Chains A and B, each alone.
Chain A
């Protein structure tokens, strides 16, 4: 196990999610037969439907029994199960470096560490089920990536991508997601892990693009507890991580307005994700990663049935 694997792949998280599986909610393309629904009908054990014969159909699929009884040519279609092609896109912009604990004094992982842990765990889960996993870390562009593979040893490559040095810049979601849509050859599952701080319209345009290409989308929204609760007291000077702004204020006085803005932001994000049928989950850095993953996977499993 590499240093990146040790850092992001936590045994307690693995222990809790290993019985779960990452199931695609939409029909995605795969190479190997597996659990996930495929848009391809072929030879399989699961009969799907009869369809009237059209020219070009493989004669081997014609149901001769039906022809004998009804004197019509029908072909038998079977549901083919493929393996999943999972692409993990992790936000590596500067805003993801916020590590919390500024107010509470307790050490928490940065948002990026939390996102990387989520990504590594999901990669492990997919690989253990024979699914293909690809991964990329982006800020204003895709900084490092690895194509989808099904080999178990591919997990090391994924972790190396997560571990790779990042450029400290703001995220350009539209650009990254557009290029991802062009790169990804087949329909599969795309999970974006980000704090979504930045150009929100660009984020959802990019996601919409992926959706149009037939990808099953999930959005893991990582936020620090401080960003949600704003527990600061005493005169404080807030200095922007991405924005070149600073604000000296009494946080207690601004807290009410800040929380209003955060709640509006979360509501907007949730609403837009729902609109493009993108699965959305808010992950707080203060909560255990395994708990967040279990919640996310369980919900997907129940919705996929």
Chain B
């Protein structure tokens, strides 16, 4: 049966069909009087053509009435709903509404209208989500008032995007139900309680579940409504989403997009993109460099941005950013020092703007009393004060006067096979003559897992042994194959040339730039030469330091998730004089330590929607874990389950809000443990650039859909599924108008021009 998207227009417009009849009747009453001589011809014509004239007039009148009716019908946008469904007793239109509740929908850019929150009772400016809620309410209300039977289901993108938690129907905010007056009120009540989430899951992530809800069972007509803010981020290169939409459209599902976002032109949105510790040793009392990055998403530069900082819940001096270019970002660095071990929350915030959700970012710095570092000393006379281990250990932990937070533990190579290497930040292997297979295996496993390993060469280092056991043609840990120890010949130029050449590498960044007297003072006498013909750069090896002869001195190569650094000379001042009273030795070693430990220290960066998990030790920790969920600290108790190996894991399925989560559990000995976990919003979701109708058309490439704005849409307009009859109707209208013109022309008088008459 045909239905009309603008049914009221039909009822208002149909009386216009009578207009031609009325005009005809008025014309009959408004006769022109003409005294006429040749009446006999007129009477003869009237006698002869009476029937024909009457029929022609009726035809003309009917065609004009049909044209008006066709025009009114076309305006009302008729749609032919599938007859089969109706014949089988269906005839029900199912509407699945996907309401985007990603945090970008909290955009206040619309301004103007205010919303009184039913649940919280406060009045605030309307967000895009508020407009989206009103859209859903209007869909329910207007469809209920439309002819035909309608069913409605409403889902939030944050819930629909969660996978592996049962059928899509169970994740709907409003389960599919017939739109009775009571159901409409129920929909309004439920939707009024909905809040914008802190997650980034939008239509793209929710579409699979929404499509499943659309294709649940055989409704005669189906419409998928996507109520969103249509940001570029959601729709650019969204091939998977477009493919799903195209499939639904091919199955006869009507696609309607409702844009809830307001134009934010001229209003800035700042987002804290990043807040993280950049290197340093996270030990108590040690200064840690922290970087904060603020992004400006608006089209104009923003000046004098004050970033407020909080540390352990208390304020601390903020940082000021003079200017952030339009569409750009600014990075500022500051230092923090925590005096006690444990998790320390850190928070950065910019002044509130149109999108408050991304104005705050949090991080948790796990601080320990001391960071253990394993130093493997290849000297059988371990413990000596002149060996390599002494110089390395001293550089890493100079003493209480200069706390580095490191606690070097000097051990023999045998320790590699017996100790749990994962508790060490970095393993330093100093001039070892030979490592056994088990030791090499443990060291490689440690490096693959993200650990950092540093090799120093020396007199005990055998090139052949290193090549055979550690390098193994590139498959092993050692970054380069060795040729053997060689002396560095003195320079031939009169002007002394420094032996060390600083490469472009973060470890030696503090020494790069203009000539550094500390580096100039380093003299290298002997090194292990790299095998002739081996170009380190071709094998993914990066130079950190080189010699004036061009030979590499310190090289780095990734191994698994970790990094391995090889220094082709001694740590002790045997083959060089670097460690003897030269401060740059200490600086480079501490930088190297931070650089290699960076991967292991990278805190898990959780975003809203990720599971929040803590790992427990079986037999040591109890299995019950209380998660304190921000902002109110509601307690959610979870039992740990076996995760991998002998480790247990307790987890919250998904973090629904941003903030610092706290996990508390007891150990078997009765002590309490706790861990802080920072969960932030996905900063990308805060990019408010709109896709726009033209680009949306390009991205969806031929997908039949209708895009309306939340303020102007009408639920019944084009919302009903089925075949639109507008085009066939317009074609018929054109045919009717042509016929009308033809009949009118045939019945009319058309003076012949002189030129035509002459020809």
For window 55-78 of chain B, which residues contact chain A by CB distance below 8 Å? 56-57
In the bound assembly, the distance between CA atoms of A243 and B36 in angstroms comes to 9
CB pair B57 A238 closer than 8 Å: no
- Given that A235-B27, A247-B46, A248-B31 are known contacts, is A255 also in contact with B749, CB under 8 Å in the complex? yes
In the bound assembly, the distance between CA atoms of A25 and B53 in angstroms comes to 48
Residues of B contacting A44 in the complex (Cβ-Cβ under 8 angstroms)? none
CB pair A236 B57 closer than 8 Å: no
Residues of B contacting A251 in the complex (Cβ-Cβ under 8 angstroms)? 749
- Given that A250-B53, A256-B49 are known contacts, is A262 also in contact with B36, CB under 8 Å in the complex? no
Contact of A197 among B27, B38, B53, B56 (CB under 8 A): B38
CB pair B33 A257 closer than 8 Å: no
CB pair B30 A235 closer than 8 Å: yes
A233 within 8 A of B: yes
In the bound assembly, the distance between CA atoms of A74 and B28 in angstroms comes to 82
A254 within 8 A of B: yes
A241 within 8 A of B: yes
Residues of B contacting A239 in the complex (Cβ-Cβ under 8 angstroms)? 33-36
Nearest CB in chain A to that of B36: its residue? A238
Contact of A247 among B30, B43, B747, B749 (CB under 8 A): B43
Instruction: Kindly provide the distance from the CB of A273 to the nearest chain B CB, expressed in whole angstroms.
Output: 19
A288 within 8 A of B: no
Residues of B contacting A260 in the complex (Cβ-Cβ under 8 angstroms)? 45, 48
CB pair B37 A247 closer than 8 Å: no
From B33, B35, B42, name the one whose CB has the most chain A CB atoms within 10 angstroms: B42
Nearest CB in chain A to that of B28: its residue? A235
B644 within 8 A of A: no
Residues of A contacting B37 in the complex (Cβ-Cβ under 8 angstroms)? 94-98, 111, 195, 197, 224, 227, 240-242
Nearest CB in chain A to that of B29: its residue? A235
In the bound assembly, the distance between CA atoms of A231 and B32 in angstroms comes to 14
From B30, B38, B57, B749, name the one whose CB has the most chain A CB atoms within 10 angstroms: B38
CB pair A245 B43 closer than 8 Å: yes
Instruction: Kindly provide the distance from the CB of A115 to the nearest chain B CB, expressed in whole angstroms.
Output: 13
- Given that A195-B37, A230-B749 are known contacts, is A261 also in contact with B31, CB under 8 Å in the complex? no
Residues 195-233 of chain A, each 1 if its beta carbon lies under 8 Å from chain B, else 0: 101000000000000000000000000001001011111
CB pair B34 A237 closer than 8 Å: yes
In the bound assembly, the distance between CA atoms of A261 and B44 in angstroms comes to 7
CB pair B46 A257 closer than 8 Å: yes
In the bound assembly, the distance between CA atoms of A231 and B751 in angstroms comes to 8
Instruction: Kindly provide the distance from the CB of A119 to the nearest chain B CB, expressed in whole angstroms.
Output: 19
Nearest CB in chain B to that of A94: its residue? B37
Residues 59-93 of chain A, each 1 if its beta carbon lies under 8 Å from chain B, else 0: 00000000000000000000000000000000000
CB pair B39 A235 closer than 8 Å: no
Residues of A contacting B113 in the complex (Cβ-Cβ under 8 angstroms)? none
Residues of B contacting A248 in the complex (Cβ-Cβ under 8 angstroms)? 28, 31
B41 within 8 A of A: yes
Residues of B contacting A238 in the complex (Cβ-Cβ under 8 angstroms)? 34, 36, 39, 42
Instruction: Kindly provide the distance from the CB of A240 to the nearest chain B CB, expressed in whole angstroms.
Output: 4
The number of A-B residue pairs with CB atoms under 8 Å apart is 111
In the bound assembly, the distance between CA atoms of A253 and B268 in angstroms comes to 71
A7 within 8 A of B: no
A265 within 8 A of B: yes
CB pair A253 B747 closer than 8 Å: yes
CB pair B749 A262 closer than 8 Å: no
Nearest CB in chain A to that of B30: its residue? A235
CB pair A102 B41 closer than 8 Å: no
A258 within 8 A of B: yes
In the bound assembly, the distance between CA atoms of A236 and B49 in angstroms comes to 17
CB pair A234 B41 closer than 8 Å: no
B494 within 8 A of A: no
CB pair A245 B32 closer than 8 Å: no
Instruction: Kindly provide the distance from the CB of B753 to the nearest chain A CB, expressed in whole angstroms.
Output: 13
Instruction: Kindly provide the distance from the CB of A202 to the nearest chain B CB, expressed in whole angstroms.
Output: 14
Instruction: Kindly provide the distance from the CB of B308 to the nearest chain A CB, expressed in whole angstroms.
Output: 82
Residues of B contacting A224 in the complex (Cβ-Cβ under 8 angstroms)? 37
CB pair B53 A262 closer than 8 Å: no
B748 within 8 A of A: yes
In the bound assembly, the distance between CA atoms of A171 and B594 in angstroms comes to 130
Instruction: Kindly provide the distance from the CB of B123 to the nearest chain A CB, expressed in whole angstroms.
Output: 65
- Given that A233-B748, A253-B53 are known contacts, is A258 also in contact with B35, CB under 8 Å in the complex? no
Residues 99-138 of chain B, each 1 if its beta carbon lies under 8 Å from chain A, else 0: 0000000000000000000000000000000000000000
For window 16-34 of chain B, which residues contact chain A by CB distance below 8 Å? 27-28, 30-34
B40 within 8 A of A: yes
- Given that A239-B34, A248-B31 are known contacts, is A265 also in contact with B41, CB under 8 Å in the complex? yes
Contact of A102 among B34, B48, B56 (CB under 8 A): B34
CB pair B749 A257 closer than 8 Å: no
In the bound assembly, the distance between CA atoms of A76 and B31 in angstroms comes to 74
A16 within 8 A of B: no
Instruction: Kindly provide the distance from the CB of A288 to the nearest chain B CB, expressed in whole angstroms.
Output: 15
Contact of A237 among B33, B41, B49 (CB under 8 A): B33
In the bound assembly, the distance between CA atoms of A55 and B748 in angstroms comes to 75
Residues of A contacting B45 in the complex (Cβ-Cβ under 8 angstroms)? 254-258, 260-261
A249 within 8 A of B: yes
Instruction: Kindly provide the distance from the CB of A294 to the nearest chain B CB, expressed in whole angstroms.
Output: 20
Residues of B contacting A240 in the complex (Cβ-Cβ under 8 angstroms)? 35-37, 39
Residues of A contacting B57 in the complex (Cβ-Cβ under 8 angstroms)? 250, 253
Residues of A contacting B44 in the complex (Cβ-Cβ under 8 angstroms)? 257-258, 261
CB pair B53 A232 closer than 8 Å: no
CB pair B748 A262 closer than 8 Å: no
In the bound assembly, the distance between CA atoms of A250 and B38 in angstroms comes to 16
CB pair A197 B40 closer than 8 Å: yes
Residues of A contacting B49 in the complex (Cβ-Cβ under 8 angstroms)? 253-254, 256-257
Nearest CB in chain A to that of B39: its residue? A240
Residues of B contacting A6 in the complex (Cβ-Cβ under 8 angstroms)? none
Residues of B contacting A230 in the complex (Cβ-Cβ under 8 angstroms)? 749
A252 within 8 A of B: yes
From A239, A241, A257, name the one whose CB has the most chain B CB atoms within 10 angstroms: A257
In the bound assembly, the distance between CA atoms of A49 and B31 in angstroms comes to 70
In the bound assembly, the distance between CA atoms of A229 and B466 in angstroms comes to 118
Nearest CB in chain B to that of A93: its residue? B37
In the bound assembly, the distance between CA atoms of A97 and B53 in angstroms comes to 30
CB pair A236 B32 closer than 8 Å: yes
Nearest CB in chain B to that of A258: its residue? B45
In the bound assembly, the distance between CA atoms of A254 and B46 in angstroms comes to 6
In the bound assembly, the distance between CA atoms of A238 and B751 in angstroms comes to 21
Residues of B contacting A94 in the complex (Cβ-Cβ under 8 angstroms)? 37
Residues 94-110 of chain A, each 1 if its beta carbon lies under 8 Å from chain B, else 0: 11111000100000000
Instruction: Kindly provide the distance from the CB of B757 to the nearest chain A CB, expressed in whole angstroms.
Output: 11
Residues 269-287 of chain B, each 1 if its beta carbon lies under 8 Å from chain A, else 0: 0000000000000000000
Contact of A243 among B30, B40, B56, B748 (CB under 8 A): B40
For window 251-289 of chain A, which residues contact chain B by CB distance below 8 Å? 251-258, 260-262, 265
CB pair B35 A241 closer than 8 Å: yes
From B31, B32, B36, name the one whose CB has the most chain A CB atoms within 10 angstroms: B36
- Given that A257-B45, A258-B41, A258-B42 are known contacts, is A98 also in contact with B36, CB under 8 Å in the complex? yes
In the bound assembly, the distance between CA atoms of A260 and B49 in angstroms comes to 11
Contact of A252 among B36, B39, B43, B749 (CB under 8 A): B749
In the bound assembly, the distance between CA atoms of A253 and B44 in angstroms comes to 13
CB pair A249 B39 closer than 8 Å: no
Instruction: Kindly provide the distance from the CB of A103 to the nearest chain B CB, expressed in whole angstroms.
Output: 8
Between A and B, 26 residue pairs with Cβ closer than 8 Å are: A94-B37, A95-B38, A197-B40, A231-B749, A233-B749, A235-B27, A235-B28, A235-B30, A235-B31, A235-B32, A236-B31, A237-B31, A238-B36, A238-B42, A240-B35, A240-B36, A242-B39, A247-B43, A249-B42, A250-B747, A252-B747, A253-B747, A254-B42, A256-B45, A257-B45, A261-B45
5 further interface pairs, Cβ-Cβ under 8 Å (given A253-B56, A257-B48): A237-B34, A240-B36, A247-B43, A253-B57, A261-B40
Q: Which residues of A contact B (CB under 8 A)?
A: 94-98, 102, 111, 195, 197, 224, 227, 229-243, 245, 247-258, 260-262, 265
9 closest A-B pairs by beta carbon, nearest first, are A257-B45, A261-B41, A95-B37, A253-B53, A238-B36, A240-B39, A237-B31, A258-B45, A98-B37
